[in-house]
Structure 1
Amino acid sequence: MSTAAPPAPTAVPQSLPDEQAVRTWLSTGAKGLAELRNSLKELDSRQWAELQQNVPIEQLIQTRLTLIDRLLSLSWLHFLAPHAEALCLAATGGYGRGELQPQSDIDVLILLPAGVNDDWTGALERFITFLWDIGLQVGHSVRSVAECAQMAATDLTVMSNLLESRLLAGDPHLLEAMRAATSPRRMWDSRTFFAAKVAEQTTRHHKFHDTGYQLEPNVKESPGGLRDIQAIGWVAKRHFQAETLDELLEHGFLTERELRSLLQSQQFLWRVRWALHMLTGRREDRLLFDVQPRLAELFGYSDQDHNLAVEQFMQNYYRTVTRVSRLNELLLQLFEETLLYPTSDASPPIPLNSRFQVRNGHIEVTRPEVFRRHPFALLEIFLLLMQHPELQGVRAATIRLIRQHRDLIDGPFREDLRARSLFMEMLHQPHGITHELRRMNRYGILARYLPEFGALVGRMQFDLFHAYTVDQHLLFVLRNLRRITVPEFAHEYPLCSEIVERIPKRELLYIAGLYHDMGKGQGGDHSEIGAQLATAFCCRHGLSERDTELVTWLVRNHLLMSMTAQRRDIADPQEIHAFARKVRTRSRLDYLFLLTVADMRATNPGLLTEWKFRLLSQLYRTTREALERGLDRPLNAATVVAENREEALMQLNRSGVSTETAVATWQNFPEAYFLRHQGDEIAWQTRALVSAPRPGGLIVQLRPDNDRGSTAIFLYLPDRDYLFGRVCAVLTQLGLTIQDARISSTTDGHALDTFMVLEQDGHFVDDHYRLHEIREQLIEVLTRPADEDCLVTRRPSRLARIFVSAPRIEFRDDPGPCTVMELVATDYPGLLSWIGQVFAEHGIRVLAAKIATIGECVEDIFWIADAQGRIDDPTRRSELVAALTQALEEGQS
């Protein structure tokens, strides 16, 4: 359905070739073809300039549509003569609807009369071939009226396309006959068509995870996109025979304000899609990362403090699709009530209280003035929905009233004790919190009640790490926290389900989840700003000083646990003690662990791998033990070493390896090895050494480790330069991601290295043939001469090539005999290999490494030393930074 009737073919702008010119080109063979192709290219160039000059998008569409209509109708007369009037040429789909975009398919239907003559076949083929030859992307079907009816009866897509049909040339009676044969009296009555379209939309939304807020949303197909507007039009056309959205005003299905909002949203999305087609030169409906900044510039956005131009543009886009989604839900609900529950079939209402009642399973107000007289009811309705999970939703008229009365939620409303009590009561409900807060967000109520949340609606961060807008992320965190409490999902994260049972006040966890990123986009430390906002919320809603302090601490420190697990050596008792001192209590630790897991799950679908969850769990358990032992009684490294050795000996003895053999095998091992490896790992690697056929030779062993959520690779061989980089190159070339590296050197000159790896999808390797492939490739490369190149030929992904930034390298001192180097850089295949090569050239050994890929960036930590131990000399550090920067820039070029 178009916003207005398709333009008449005769209403041609002066800039287009006139009818005589087209006829001349049609009659002059190859020269005419060239002229027509040039005319279409000139149209593209002219319309690109007009788009940049802010010419209304409707004018651009109408100009293109008029020219294409003229080309098709005149070409039809030229190629089909003398039979042009016996057949029918009709536009269908988006072209029939009058919404022709630069790279869209031009869908046409050629209707044949009964008893079709094969003499027309050649003429039709020449007609279609000609259209392709001049550069038009034509999608055509040739059918009789009966065939149209037969296909439309069983295919919803065909029926929808035929609904949009309009005459271009030929016999209009054939088109009328097709419309009669596919009318609601013969097939797809209003109820059936509506139900099918709703199911189709639901399926389509599921493909996009029911959100239009993806990193690279589809302007046409994602929720809130153009297809959602078209769905309204299809149902309206089938039920009311309405040709334009304007006609829904006459039927009372749209208010003028809603129509204006819908048309403005449609115009914005049209404009974005038009620019996408122009910039990419193809039918591209995805807002690709590399195009987003160019669109932002095209539409006049400019960078501001703490808000990039591209982020402003995308926020406008996300808010637009939110408006479309709200109107789509409202209008489809209205259609449902009209089509499925007409007044004659309506059941009597069931009272809930004096303000609300239930009709046909949906909640509605008892009187239109309820919200005006009782503004707090704007929150009460969502509490009732939580308390009555049997309700299917909100009646359309009440949705409209909610939208119309949102402005009543102002400063005095937020200070009203009834409103504050209602909101807190929602957070105490056993069911429906996430579902109804999401509904509040869709209806615009949550943004009004929490203005700090409203500022984040549709706000995105231009990177690959944050997969959702900030408002959606906050609601996903809340969903994840709620999911932990549901017994049905206890198998996902059993430790979390166990901990949450001990949480005395779950509402504090929900408030922390809702506010942990609320400070984004305001400049400064978002954790600190969020903590201040959370404190204000708690005070406004009457929380005790103790509860307020806990929520504020959680928001301020919501990154503490993930950063410690990923960026610190949590096998080191000193690191555990330092973390425990920051947490201080078991209660804080429980809350923080649950919030961290929920936050990581909601940031990016692939972020919380099993490996990272195991790291968090290890940090949780060792910190809990430290707190139980007492902060004044920290565990020392010698105790951990002794415990790990004892556990390894017990396992080795059970498997037939004597204590004497094990101790002899360990005589050249550094103490740090026993600190960084747990007992079962030490036992596994010791067995590999004891059973080796040639002492001191190359050993490559792999072990899928379900308990740690990764696959361990153990390497033992004579140490040499560039070993770290060579191993990283092999693993990268095999498509593996390195999560952790523990590098040791024995006193007799052997490397004793452990790498923890995952597949690209975040799962550990456990397939026998894959394990064999990795082992054989490592053996092949590690037996080559040391000076032979080991190249990485895998190329960076399309998205990784977009986000290129200069590497950032920092040093910090470690309590032990090494220096910690932190590196943040754009990720690309072979990066670790380049780093290893620079280390080798500068005489630097890697003692351990933590590898973290976050979106398009790596945040890697290396524990390094040279022949003298720690690298303290500022000049030496500067030389290393310069060499690494140059190598990484060359590697990604």
Structure 2
Amino acid sequence: MTTRAEIIADYSLVGINACTALSDATDSWLVEVFNNAVDGEKNKDDIVMLAVGGYGRRELAPHSDLDILLVHKNVKNIGDIASKMWYPIWDAGLKLGHAVRTPKETLQLCETDLDTATALVTARVIVGNHQLGTEVIRDASTSWSKRGGQWLIELHTRILERYAKDGEVAFLLEPNLKEGLGGLRDIHALHWAVMAGLELSLEDRTQLVRCNEELLKIRVALHRHNARANEILRLEDQAPVAQLCGYPSDDALMASLAEVGREVAWIADEAWARLDPPANRSPIPQPLAPGVQLINGEVRLDDEVNIADDPTLLLRVATAAARLRARIDRESLNRLGELSPVWPDPWPAGASDDLVALLLEGAAAIPVLESLDQRNLIVRVLPEWAPVRSKPQRNAFHRFTVDRHLWETVANAAELVDRVARPDLLVLGALFHDLGKGYPGDHTEVGVELFHTIGARMGLSESDQNIIRLLIQHHLLLADTATRRDLSDDATISMVARELETTVVLDLLHALTESDSLATGPSAWSQWKSELVSLLVDRSRHVLGGGDVDEILWRLFPDASVLELMAAGDIAIRTEKDR
């Protein structure tokens, strides 16, 4: 019999195959443990051991907890028998989630406790009285099917809490494979929901199986690499995990994981939206824009709209959805994905205004942009977007992939438009400031070059293009200068004023700097940094307004140059008392 240790050490077994083999080996071992514990007991036929949770699904990762339920028919000494089972497991160094209950107690908990109810949905018999175990599992499944509609409300609430805590698998640089949005727990929850009556298409079910296998492959490799249970794929673990999984690089691993996370999140979002429809749903069509209407709380395309001859239709749909905080219905998205053309060069008249209108919706635009990207529609508008899609950033300060970082920066910028003269240029600068990160070379220089082509294609005026290029070129200027240079040095202030040319650009860059930093991560923007940047901006504004730099600077006395002269004996400092 192959042991657990042998399977964990056998790196030829990966993903679901490793999980299944490990589950089977654990079963065989627990059969021995069980039989030893009940040996000589008169009522041993009144006991059954069930695998629940992930173990019940036969998805044990190398260092997963063992979740076991011992069910008995009022066996008086069940506590002593159970202890004989638990101690060998603990002695083997395994974490054990265990419970001992009668069938009645089990069913009562299934009706009142969500964790128990979901754990038993995928339970299976390991050893003992199979008839007893089968009856308990059947009754628990029946209870779930009958009460599932009520449970799904609580389940959805927990899911939303989990998203807020653990973020998204597709966009975090260090994603939680199990609890993050688009991770394994979402797949489990969808399975539970299906057993409670939710309908999923064959296509969705097939995709979930594929995504589950990919996530398990990465999870197994992560457990093996760390030699312990771990669900967060840290930056330092990504290269070795990629090698264990057979990816050519850590970037390839993270790109694949991002695609899986996107797919699971998309299916989950659509499914939960059907279970929790919007309060404003009405079957009466409400026109929103040419070819676009609101029906049952979702933004939909008119049946007769000509998608192939209307490139900007997708932006009208997206802006309407963001403005109403509504979803684009799935059929409409599929139609857009199948029929929307690649945008021409130059863009259609007014198209850049349509893009700005969407971006100015701020955070509400992010899920809409994600839905467009899920159907490969962003690259039809902006082909230069492809290299930054799902691209990780090898920097501990950054929290998001490049594409999500750009969207988050835009959302932050949309909150600051009252501080600038040109809100349109602010959100466009936010969208494009890191686009060069998808290409070889210095990302700032590459980004400026990319925008030469993009700006002309968008039909922007030369002056507007120049401002956005300045924002891209100098998007790090204020933060770097404020935190690394002497703000009492007139050369520092004069340099910033010279580079930015006008107060319009200065204000835009100030807002972009804050938006970019907030989108980077919690450690990238602080009160101290904000005050330094504001001080630099205020002093630069004075110079750009025609003022003398010396009017706003103070100098430490004696400064470094005076101290140097004093040390050489070339200058002496005397006070009034020295006279």
- TM-score, normalising length: structure 2: 0.88
8 A contact 1:213–1:469 mirrored in 2: yes
CA distance in 1, matches of 2:211, 2:144: 35
Q: For residues 369 and 84 of structure 1, what CA distance do their matches in structure 2 show?
A: 70
**Contact (CA 8 Å) 1:426, 1:433: kept in 2 or not?**
no
Residues 393-413 of structure 1: CA deviation (Å, up to 9, x unaligned): 233x43xx52464254453x3
Query: Residue 122 of structure 2 corresponds to which residue in structure 1?
Result: 164
Match among 462, 465, 481 for residue 413 of structure 2: 481
2:187 aligned with 1:254 = no
2:218, 2:245 within 8 Å by CA — same for their partners in 1?
no
> How is 1:570-589 mapped onto 2 (pairs within 5 angstroms)?
570-589=487-506
Instruction: Provide the residue aligned with 2:44 in structure 1.
Output: 84
Task: Determine the structure 2 residue equivalent to 1:532.
Answer: 449
| Alignment partner, residue 402 of structure 1 | 333
Letter in 1 for 2:497: A
Amino acid in the other structure paired with 1:328: A
User: Using CA pairs below 8 Å that are at least 6 residues apart, which structure has the higher relative contact order?
Assistant: 2
Compute the displacement of 1:424 (Å). Answer: 2.5
The letter for the 2-side match of 1:348 is P
Aligned to 2:576: none
Deviation at 1:207, TM superposition (A): 0.4
* Match runs of 1:37-116 below 5 Å: 39-46=3-10, 48=11, 50-51=12-13, 57-81=15-39, 82-113=42-73, 116=74
- 1:349 equivalent in structure 2: 284
Matches of 1:318 and 1:608 in 2, distance apart? 26
Structure 2 contact 434–447 (Cα < 8 Å) conserved = yes
**Kept in 1: contact 2:57–2:122 (CA 8 A):** yes
Q: Deviations over 1:539-563 (max 9, x none)?
A: 2222212211211221122222222
- Give 2:250's aligned residue: 310
Structure with the higher helix share, 1 or 2? 2
Q: Which amino acid aligns with 1:107?
A: D
1:263 to 209, 233, 242: 209
- 1:49-448 alignment to 2 at 5 Å? 50-51=12-13, 57-81=15-39, 82-113=42-73, 116-179=74-137, 182=140, 189-209=147-167, 212-239=170-197, 253-256=200-203, 258-302=204-248, 309-336=249-276, 347-352=282-287, 355-367=291-303, 371=307, 376-387=312-323, 389=324, 392-395=326-329, 397-398=330-331, 401-403=332-334, 405-406=336-337, 408-411=339-342, 413-415=343-345, 421-422=350-351, 424-428=353-357, 432-444=361-373, 445-448=377-380
Contact 2:385 2:435 in 1 (8 A): yes
Q: Name the CA shift for 1:41/1:185 in 2 (closer, same or farther; >3 Å).
A: closer
3-state secondary structure, aligned to 2:69: strand
The structure with more strand, counted as a fraction of residues: 1
**Aligned partner of residue 468 in structure 2, secondary structure:** helix
Q: What is the correspondence of 1:338-737 to structure 2 with a 5 Å cutoff?
A: 347-352=282-287, 355-367=291-303, 371=307, 376-387=312-323, 389=324, 392-395=326-329, 397-398=330-331, 401-403=332-334, 405-406=336-337, 408-411=339-342, 413-415=343-345, 421-422=350-351, 424-428=353-357, 432-444=361-373, 445-485=377-417, 499-500=419-420, 503=421, 505-629=422-546, 634-636=548-550, 670-671=558-559
Distance in structure 1 (CA, Å) of the matches to 2:169 and 2:242: 22
Tell me, yes or no, if the aligned pair for 1:406 and 1:448 is still in contact at 8 Å: no
Alignment partner of 1:265: what SS? helix
Q: Which residue identity lines up with residue 228 of structure 1 in the other structure? A: D
Following superposition of structure 1 onto structure 2, how do residues 805-816 of structure 1 map, counting pairs within 5 Å? none
Indicate conservation of the 8 Å contact 1:218/1:285, yes or no: yes
CA contact (8 A) 2:103 2:136 kept: yes
How far, CA to CA, are the matches of 2:113 and 2:174 in structure 1? 30
Deviation at 1:273, TM superposition (A): 0.5
Residue 621 of structure 1 deviates from its aligned partner by 0.8
Instruction: Give the distance between the partners of 1:640 and 1:746, measured in 2 at CA.
Output: 25
Is the contact made by 2:397 and 2:523 (CA closer than 8 Å) also made in structure 1? no
Pairwise mapping of residues 786-801 of structure 1 onto structure 2 (< 5 A)?
A: none
- State the one-letter code of the partner of 2:259: R
Q: Is the 8 A contact 2:292 2:316 kept in 1?
A: no
Q: Distance in 1 between matches of 2:110 and 2:189?
A: 17
Which amino acid in the other structure matches residue 269 of structure 1?
L
Instruction: Give yes or no for contact 1:311–1:461 (8 Å, CA) kept in 2.
Output: no
Map residues 801-840 of structure 1 onto 2, 5 A cutoff. none
Match of 1:189, SS state, is: helix
Size of the aligned set, in residue pairs, is 564
Q: Name the residue aligned to 1:702.
A: none
C-alpha displacement of 1:336: 4.4
CA distance in 1, matches of 2:18, 2:145: 36
Provide Cα deviations, 1:635-673, integer angstroms capped at 9, x if missing partner.
34xx667x779xxxxxxxxxxxxxxxxxxxxxxx52559
Matched AA of 1:377: L
2:167 touches 2:180 (CA, 8 Å); kept in 1?
A: no
Asked if structure 1 preserves the Cα contact closer than 8 Å seen for 2:170 and 2:182, the reply is: yes
Cα distance, 1:260 vs structure 2 = 4.0
Does the C-alpha gap of structure 1 residues 131 and 868 become closer, same or farther in structure 2, counting only changes over 3 Å?
farther
Secondary structure at the aligned position of 2:397 is classed as: coil
Rounded Cα–Cα distance in structure 2 between residues aligned with 1:142 and 1:423? 64
| Change beyond 3 A, Cα 1:265–1:172 | same
Shift of residue 625, structure 1, vs aligned partner: 0.9
Q: Is the 8 A contact 1:265 1:320 kept in 2?
A: yes
Matched residue SS, 1:271: helix
In structure 2, the CA distance between the partners of 1:260 and 1:327, relative to structure 1 (3 Å rule), is same
TM-score (norm 1): 0.58
**Alpha-carbon distance between aligned partners in 2 of 1:61 and 1:117, rounded to the nearest angstrom:** 33
Distance 2:115 2:498 in 1: 63
Q: Distance in 2 between matches of 1:426 and 1:167?
A: 57
Q: Contact 1:105–1:139 at 8 Å: present in 2 too?
A: yes
**Letter of the aligned partner of 2:254 in structure 1?**
M
Amino acid at match of 2:391: R
Give secondary structure in 1 for the equivalent of 2:320: helix
DSSP 3-state at the match of 2:549: coil
Q: What is the rounded CA distance, in whole Å, between the counterparts of 2:8 and 2:569 in structure 1?
A: 66
Q: For 1:140, what is the secondary structure of its paired residue?
A: strand
Q: Secondary structure at the match of 2:416?
A: helix
Residue 868 of structure 1, CA deviation: 11
Indicate the SS of the match to 1:239: coil
| Structure 2 gap ranges (5+) | 572-579
Query: 1:699-756 CA distances to partner (integer Å, 9 max, x unpaired)?
Result: xxxxxxxxxxxxxxxxxxxxxxxxxxxxxxxxxxxxxxxxxxxxx7996x9xxxxxxx
**CA distance change for structure 1 residues 368 and 425 in 2, over 3 Å: closer, same or farther?**
closer
For 2:311 and 2:142, how far apart are their aligned partners in 1? Answer: 43
Say if 1:125 and 1:461 are closer, same or farther in 2 by CA, change over 3 A: same
Q: What is the aligned-residue identity percentage? A: 26
Distance 1:593 1:568, change over 3 A: same
- For 2:95, the aligned partner's letter is Q
Structure 1 residues 405, 350: closer, same or farther in 2, change over 3 A? closer
